Each structure stands twice: as C-alpha cells, then as structure tokens.
Chains A and B, each alone.
Chain A
Amino acid sequence: GGGGGGGGRGEEGGEEDLSDSEDSVFSGLEDSGSDSEEEEEEEGGGGGGGREEFCEVLCAVQDIRNTVGNVPMEWYRDFPHLGYDLDGRKIYKPIRSQDELDHFLDKMENPDYWRTVHDKQTGSDITLSEEQVALVRRLQSGRFGDVDFNEYQPTVEYFSRDVMLHPVTNRPADKRSFIPSLIEKEKVSKLVHAIKMGWIKPRRVEDDSRGRYYDLWASEDSSILARHKMHLPAPKIPLPGHQESYNPPPEFLFNEEERALWEQQDAADRKLPFVPRKFSSLRSVPAFPRFVHERFERCLDLYLCPRQRKMRVNVDPEDLIPKLPKPRDLQPFPTTQSLVYRGHSGLIRSISVSPTGQWLASGSDDGSVRFWEVCSSRCLKTVQVGGAVRSVTWNPNTAVCLLAVALDSRVLLLSPSLADRQVVSASELLLSDKEGAEPVQGAESLVTWSEAEGEELNEGIRLKIQHPKAVHQVAWHAKGDYLASVMPDHSSHLQVLIHQVSRRRSQNPFRRNKGLVQRVSFHPLRPYFFVATQRSVRIYNLLKQEMTKKLQANAKWISSMAVHPGGDHVICGSYDCRLSWFDLDLSTKPYRMLRHHKKAVRGVAYHRFYPLFASASDDGSVIVCHGTVYNDLLQNPLIVPVKVLRGHAVSQDLGVLDVTFHPSQPWVFSSGADATIRLYT
C-alpha cells in the first residue's frame, strides 16, 4: 500500500491533497504500531496487578488465621491467647518465653536469624524467602518492588515540536518513483499516435463573437436600465424543514397548547401554514389538500410582490428627536412674574416700552393711556384720550420723547415729558417746528393734522391726525420721523398711510392694496417696508418703490408681525394659533412654524439684542422662544421655546393681547384682557 502511494505521489506530486492523505495513512500505520506497544504495556501492567492480588490473598490468608482484626496486640498482653481462629478457638501464645540469652543463642546459631521476623498476630516467627528478602532490599533502596518494571522507559513523543521533512517515516522514496512508468508511456504514445493520425481532434472553440448572446437592454433608455438595476428577485419559497416531514421528530409535532394557539390565530399570523403530522410510513401520507391553493398564493406572491428596494433603517426613536439644548444653557430669558401693573379698567390692547427702558406706556379700552415706571409698577401719568386705544408706540429715537397713540380714526402724538428737559424740548420742537410753515396738505386732504388745545395740551397731547377710517396700528420708523398707520378695509385702496411728523405730511404709498392689511412695520436698518395682510407679508423697497419679496405665512389670518432688529428675520403670529419664523435671506416660506399656543396668537415681539422672541396668545400664556442664527450658513438656526409664562386671566375668550420686551434687560411685558400688565423677569 505504501509503495502504491509513493508511486501516486511520484505521478501527481503537484497535488497537495493526495500527499497529505498519504501522510495520514502513514501516521495511521505508526499509530497502530504504538497501539500495539501500549497493549504490551497494558499486559505488563496487568501482570503487576496480578502480583498485587496475590499479596492481598496472602494477607487475607494471614488475617484468617487470627480473627481479632486490626487491633493493638497489647490488648492481649495479659491473656494466654492472642485471638481466635476461624472456628472461634483461642489461639494461644507460644509457650516459650524467650529471654535475651535465647535471643543471643538464636542469633549465634540460627543462620536464618537475620531473615526471621516475628509475627505479632500469630506469635510465630516467620523466615522470609529469598524473593521476599530481595523485595525488601529493593524497597529499602527506594526502587520499585517489581523487578521487571523499567522506570526509565524511553519517552514516545507522538508529536514532536521539531519540524521534520517526513515527519512520520524516514523511509527513502521508492526507486520506481524516479523511473517513468512503462504503462503510462505506452498510453501516452497511443494518444500521440492517435492525435498524429487525426483520430483525436482538439476541442473546437465556440466562437461567441458572432453574438449568440446580446445585451437585450442596450438600446433601452438609461432610466429604465437604472430602474432595472434595482430589480429584486422574487422571494424564494423557504426550503422544507423537519415540520414538513411525514415523520417529523416529536419536538416538531404540536402539543395541545400549540395546536389551540394555531387554531386561534388568524391565517396570516400563523407561523406555519399547516399542522405537522406524523405518519407511520410514507405510503400512508394523504394527498396535500391545499396544494392548488398554495400554488395559487405563490403565484400571487410572485405577481404582487413589491419590486422595489425598501431601505430599512433601524434607528432608535430617541435618536430621531433633535438634540435640543437645555433651556438652562440658553439663559438669560424671563422666567417668573415679577410685577403687575394695575390701574386700567378695560382690556389693554397695546403696550410699549420707552427706548430708555424706564417707562412703559399702555393703551386700554377704558379710553386712557397710562405711563408706568417700569421698576416700581407705579402709574405716573394717565392721559384720557376719549376712546378705546388700539395701539401705542414710543418713538424709537432717544433724542425725542414721543408716543403715538391710535384710537378710533385718530392718531395722537403725545409728549409725556418723561425725560430730560432737552429731550422734551427737542420733541416739542419736532412737533411745533413747522407750525404754519406748510399748510395742511394731507394725501388728497384725506388726513387732517390739527394741534391739540386747552386741556388736551396740558395732558401732553400735541398733535392729532384725523384719518378717514378707524386706525388699528401705528408704527414708527427707526429714525423717529416717519409714522405709518394702518386702516384695515377690504374695499378701499387706502389702508396704509405714512406720515412725516417733522413736515406734517401724509402720503398713501400704495395705489392698490391686495387683501386686508393687518400690520405694517419699517425695516430697522434699510429702506424697506413690511406689510402683513391676511395670508402673506409683502416687503416693499421704499427707494425703488417696488415690491421685493412676498412671504407666504401658511396661516389663515395673520394677527401680528415683528421684525428682528437686525432686519433679517420676521415672525408672524396668526389667529390659527401659529407662529411662523422667516429668514428673509433663505426663503419666502416660513423656516419654522411653531404651534405651541392653544388659541389665537395676538402679539409677537423680538428682543432688541438678546436672541429672544415672545408670542402672546388668547390662551392666557406668553411663550418665550430662543432663536439664534449662526453666522455659519451651514448651521441651522436654533429655535427653541424656552419658557411658558402664565399669569393673565382669560376674560371673554381674550387672553394676552400684546407683548413687548424691555429694551435692555431680558424682561418681557404682556398686557391682557384682565386689565393688567405683567412683567416677567
């Protein structure tokens, strides 16, 4: 067998597998050899075991002679006997009483004295045999008791750490592995001859270049190809498992519970579409009753299966929630109600803080405008204007101290003289400078400018601008000279008027107004003008006199609007509870819609330099939001509601009507239908 293997290796030396198998064969042989050695060893061991047994038998025989067992013989010192034999008879001590002299004589005379030992159990002397003496000697010298036992047997290292070329056998290769085989030579020459004779022809190479196969889709549109790449193979039928077997292992068979469950479950929910059953033989398996049904369903599967790759993403729902910073990190913002300004008897529609931050003006339905000291909630001045006040606005210019008040169809300019004398005189100068210099030349005499007299003059009212219709809002330009007023009216084109206070001129900037104008505002820095109608905010360039942008608020009815002091962002509150945040550079659609209020939003406000804006709603709450816009255009603006401020009581379905920020502190004022103004800090 080894020779044949060697020959095989000579012929197919390149194939590693074969040589490996040869090795394994050889090692197997070697193994068997070692096995036989082990057997021999075992035999030897068996022999040793036999000897031990013999010893034990000897001991047993000795034990049998005295049945007292393994007890100290001193116990029998005072008795004439040493114990009892098997029959229960006493074994008597030998009568002799050897003294030292007997011992000496015995030592001198008995040649076997040195190998005579005294057996305490029987009291007799035993002379050891030669083998026993030899055994004792060996044991005394620390050797094994067995003579034949070789304690220095050579170690058989079955697995050596040395790497060997031919690890198992050292046998040289056969000579015939170097000599060409005659039989093979004969075969090869036959084949060569056959090829020469043309009996064997080389395999014909198939020529594919003719195009037996071609790209069916080559002429197709690339989009179809692209779609084709997304082809999904039909779902495969799962291979039959043990359950399908006619004789499944018992663990696959249903027990009572599983069967009940299977029967209860809806057909679509079942894990298995059938109940595994056991038959004694394949012959007794009946026909599959649902075969046609199943085939039909399979066809349905193939026909109706979605052929679209579905990107399934396993995401933790927590990760999908945007990472919002903690409100604590966004401080400062108003958190608690600090002061309540009481005094009005009607709902307060509008409030405004003086640009210095010392005074607060409020206009109420009780027909008065009140001036409050911010830090003490003290009402320092009350001006009866005789009509429900719709809007109050401080002049943003710090060099003058003026308040514009809108009520009914009038706009009043008040000089509350709550500032330095020079400022007061400057504002008086602004109002009275053009007295008579330019006669009233209002826009097509729609507007009448008139000076206050008598009692009104004492109260601080300086100028009255009579409008043709009810004025709802007034808004100052940042420079403090121009004033815009809003008269919402569906039918008219005269809804917005811009007044110049220093020259007492009014003009109608728009020939046509689309929609009902709700709010207007000047751009704080550039010559733009914001007009909020019901659905949208239009931005007009005042220099070019054209519309530059139209913001779609996605709201049904805009109620309020505020322009960021930087002029890049606009917020709009609407009666359908929404707050839209626009980035003017980004889009005309709101960047963010905030729906935190439960009722109509009545007022919105921006802080002058803190990144805060607030919205007031009829649900009695003011929501303060943090809105940071980063210089890095890639980073999205951060708009986070930080605080809901409550305190206002809701009366007649009206809650908070106006909201405004303190110009220098992160404080917010809100005025409500409960006739109070509240300061949150």
Chain B
Amino acid sequence: MSQLQARFFTENKRYAVDDVPFSIPAASEVQDLSHVINTLLQAKNESHKQVEFDFLVRGQFLRTSLSSHMETEGISTEEVVEIEYVERIAAPEPEECMMHDDWISSVDADTEWILTGSYDKTARIWSTEGKAVMTVAGHKDVVKDVAWVKRDGLTSLLLTASLDQTVLLWEWNSERNKVKARHCCRGHTGSVDTIATDPTGSKFCSGSWDKMLKIWSAVPTEEADEVEEPPDRPRKKQKTEQLGLTRTPLMTLSGHSEAVSSVLWCDSEEVCSASWDHTIRIWDTESGTMKTTLTGSKVFNCISYSPLCRRLASGSTDRHIRLWDPRTKDGSLVLLSLTSHTGWVTAVKWAPSHEHQLVSGSLDNLVKLWDTRSCKAPLYDLAAHEDKVFCVDWTESGLMLSGGADNKLYTYRYSACQTDAGA
C-alpha cells in the first residue's frame, strides 16, 4: 500500500480545489499534503501564495503519516479518503507581560479592559495594551475571583470575590478613573472561590468553600438589605468594617457536599457548578432546584461552557480535561478526554468564537491550546510561566490571557481564530 485515493475538500471557498480523487503516497505527512494543495491552488490561480494547511481525516487532525493515522483510526484504505483541510492555526503570539505584586488568582477580560484578582488582596484593571489603570483595594483577604458585570458607557460594574467571605460589587468610571464599592455581598461562611455573572448582567452567582451557591442581584441600589446581626456583636466594629452597602443573596443553592470550585451560567436561567465532591451540578435558577448531576472521579477545579458546541469542559486534579454534554440525562458520560498536562488542571476556557478550541492552564506551569479534533496532543504549548498557572481567559477579540504564581499576567494575540471561525 503505497498510494491512497484521497479527495480534498474545504469549507473555505478561497482555497477550494477540484472535487476529484487524487492518488497520494500513503506515507505522506501534513507538509506533503499541504504542498499538494498549494501546488493545486497555484495551478488554478497564479497569484496564490503559499499557505500552511492542516488536515482532518474524519474529524481528527492528521498528526502522523496518513497511513499510520488511518491504521490507528481504523479507516479502510480501500476507498477514497475524504480529507478536509483548513488553514493552519497560527501560533498565538505573546504580547504583553503584566507584573503584579503577588500571585494572580483570577482574570476576566473583555474587549477593552482586563480585570485581575491577586493574592495581595486587591484587584487590578489593565488596559489590553498592558497599562495598569486602577487598583481596586478593599478586601481584607486574598481576592479569589473577579468578574465584569456590565459596561454602561464609561461606567463599569465589576465584582471581586475574596477569601474574607464577601463579594464586593464595585462601580468604576473609566474616564474619571474612580472606583467605588457599591455593595458588600455577605452571606457565605467560607471563602468565596468563584463568581459568575449571568448573560444579562443583572444577577450573579457565587460559589464558596462553605459548599453553597448563592445568587445575588448585580443591580446597584442605594439601600442596604436587612441583615440579621448576632445580638452580641459590637456595633462600632461593624461600622468601621463596612465597605459599601450590605447585600443579601436572592437565593441559596445547596447540594454540594464539598467546596464549590467553579461556577458559570449556561444561559440566563441555568447555573452550572463544579465542586470538590467530584460532581458538576446544573441548577435551575428560577426554581432553585438541581437539574442534572455529572459525576466524575476526581476533584473538579474548573469548568467552562461553550454555547457554540454546547459542551462543558472540566479540569480535574488528575491532569485530564474532560468534555461533557450537560444535556444528557444520565449525566456521567465523558465525551472526550484531553490529556497532556502533568499537573492539576486549574483553569480551562473555551474559545468564545470557535467551537473546537479551548485553552487550559495547569500547575505544571504550562498553558495549552487545544483543538477537540486533536485530542491526543494540544495544538500549542505556551510555556511562558515560571510557576503554577491559576487562571486563563480568552476574549472575543482574540486575546488569550494567563496568570499564575509567578506574579505575571501574559497575554497572547491569537489571530487565526477570526479567519478560522468563518470556516
């Protein structure tokens, strides 16, 4: 078997070739096939420039020689092989490195601003060019998670969750560069490890070490909620501590038997939470009931949901990234396992505009860019960090961010995302 019959096709009209079977050497690898396509395109169009392509055989990226790939995948070599080709995803280019004073626990970026939470009890706002804009200080302990809520012109709402068991809702005016604590969300009895704002920006959910999920209103008001205070509590102490108006949760979701490590909104009425009790639970925020439980075998550190492919990605302490279908009723079926990390996977994030790509960070100091069509090996290893990676993010403008215990927040420009998204 030295020659194979192959038919090439692509979604991208720019690079379409004739729909006829070609006889290609079975031992040919990605470069050879790429060369074949380029030659074909050049024959058709004189002005064609060399483009690196990647090849998919039955939805799996070709990483070895064609014959060995087909052997491992069990594809018959007798018939004409359908090979899809896409433009090679370019490596993310490192852009900025933002130095912090302490470990970075969390990052949330949108198209304009980057918000990071740090172990020095502050959160910081950065521009995407890497300029420090604002330091949000107010927590009495380590900031564990941060989130943007809403942007209204120049005024933004943001959230910081901390080990001091509170979540603070801040209002930030980017023009005057003033930040003001609007509400102090009290109610958790453990460190608040994770927060997530709902798609409309009117509510947010927090997950805590006290095994609870709480849903709060994210709309700033001018009155404080009533709080039942312990009667013996000294009054004056409370006054000095108060930062912003006290707010109480709209709803408390309990059901996890261990700490909640990660929470997110699947849509405006569904909250998904991952916990140290080896489960991922999906909750209905209207009724406050649990809808589905996905049971794993190891502690979940992080989850991410992609509305494009409707998959949950989870990072565990056993170095695997697993993909789940949150709609399944039995709820314990792992669709795919991505294994390449050698430490706990601490952060995972789907690409906002690509249904196959995700980025993950791990305690082994690596950030990896994955394509689910190539589950054996990641597309790229981003080995910038010198210590544990705690958080990653991916903005819609194609910026990837990662922060960790080396006090550095790296950003990477990911250009191929846009062109490939159209494919």
Contact = CB atoms under 8 A, between A and B. Distances in A.
A664 interface: yes
A66 to B, nearest CB: 74
Nearest to B211: A356
B190 A358 contact: yes
A420 B165 contact: yes
Contacts of A358: 190-191, 209, 259
B258 A339 contact: no
A541 interface: no
Contacts of B210: 420
Nearest to B390: A376
Nearest to B257: A664
B142 interface: yes
Contacts of B61: none
Contacts of A177: none
Contact of A422 (B119, B230, B405): B230
Interface string A367-387: 000000101111010000000
A664 B211 CA distance: 13
B297 interface: yes
Contact of A338 (B163, B259, B297, B317): B317
B388 A665 contact: no
A57 to B, nearest CB: 77
Interface residues of B, number: 29
Interface in B255-272: 258-259, 261
B344 interface: yes
A339 B230 contact: no
A681 B103 contact: no
B276 interface: yes
Contacts of A339: 344, 363
Interface in B145-177: 163, 165
A422 B189 contact: yes
B331 interface: no
A422 B298 CA distance: 31
Interface string B278-312: 00000000000000000001110100000000000
Contacts of A380: 142, 163
A419 B188 CA distance: 11
A378 B142 contact: yes
A332 B298 CA distance: 9
Given A378-B119, A378-B142, A338 B343 contact: yes
Nearest to B103: A378
A377 B344 CA distance: 12
Given A420-B190, A422-B189, A664 B276 contact: yes
Contacts of B209: 356, 358
Looking at A338, A375, A665, the one whose CB has the most chain B CB atoms below 10 A away is A375
Interface in B386-423: 388, 390, 405
A141 B276 CA distance: 108
Contacts of B343: 338
A420 B189 contact: yes
Interface string A252-285: 0000000000000000000000000000000000
Contacts of A332: 297-298
A55 to B, nearest CB: 73
A375 B105 CA distance: 12
Contacts of A421: 165
Contacts of B297: 332
A420 B190 CA distance: 6
A337 to B, nearest CB: 9
Interface string B195-225: 0000000000000011000000000000000
A402 B405 CA distance: 29
A73 B166 CA distance: 131
Given A338-B343, A380-B142, A681 B317 contact: yes
Nearest to B141: A380
Contacts of B277: 664
A381 to B, nearest CB: 10
Interface string B349-374: 00000000000000100000000000
A554 to B, nearest CB: 38
Contacts of A420: 165, 189-190, 210
Contacts of A357: 258-259, 276
Contact of B344 (A373, A378, A423, A681): A681
A150 B297 CA distance: 96
A177 to B, nearest CB: 91
Looking at B210, B297, B299, B390, the one whose CB has the most chain A CB atoms below 10 A away is B299
Contacts of B390: 376
Looking at A332, A357, A422, A681, the one whose CB has the most chain B CB atoms below 10 A away is A681
B363 to A, nearest CB: 7
A375 B261 CA distance: 10
Given A338-B317, A338-B344, A378-B103, A665 B276 contact: yes
A420 B301 CA distance: 22
Contacts of A338: 317, 343-344, 363
Nearest to A421: B165
A423 B209 CA distance: 14
A664 B317 CA distance: 14
Interface string B66-90: 0000000000000000000000000
Nearest to B299: A665
A307 B292 CA distance: 76
A664 B209 CA distance: 13
Interface string A667-681: 000000000000001
Contacts of B190: 356, 358, 419-420
B249 to A, nearest CB: 15
Contacts of B363: 338-339
Nearest to B301: A375
A128 to B, nearest CB: 79
A421 B234 CA distance: 13
Contacts of B230: 422
A681 B320 CA distance: 13
Given A338-B363, A664-B258, A377 B388 contact: yes
Interface string A293-311: 0000000000000000000
A681 B261 CA distance: 17
Contacts of A373: 142
Contacts of A419: 190
A421 B237 CA distance: 13
A376 B209 CA distance: 14
Nearest to A376: B390
Interface in A324-370: 332, 338-339, 356-358
A681 B276 CA distance: 13
A379 to B, nearest CB: 10
Contact of A376 (B165, B258, B318, B388): B388
Contacts of B119: 378
B197 to A, nearest CB: 23
Contacts of B276: 357, 664-665
Contacts of A681: 299, 317-318, 344
Contacts of A665: 276, 299
Contacts of A375: 261, 301
Contacts of B261: 375
Closest 5 CB pairs of A and B: A420-B189, A681-B317, A358-B209, A338-B344, A664-B258
Given A378-B142, A664-B277, 9 more contacts: A338-B343, A339-B344, A356-B209, A358-B190, A375-B261, A375-B301, A376-B105, A665-B276, A681-B299
20 contacts: A338-B317, A338-B343, A338-B344, A338-B363, A339-B344, A339-B363, A357-B258, A357-B276, A358-B259, A376-B103, A376-B388, A376-B390, A378-B119, A378-B405, A420-B210, A421-B165, A422-B230, A664-B258, A681-B317, A681-B344
Interface of A: 332, 338-339, 356-358, 373, 375-378, 380, 419-423, 664-665, 681
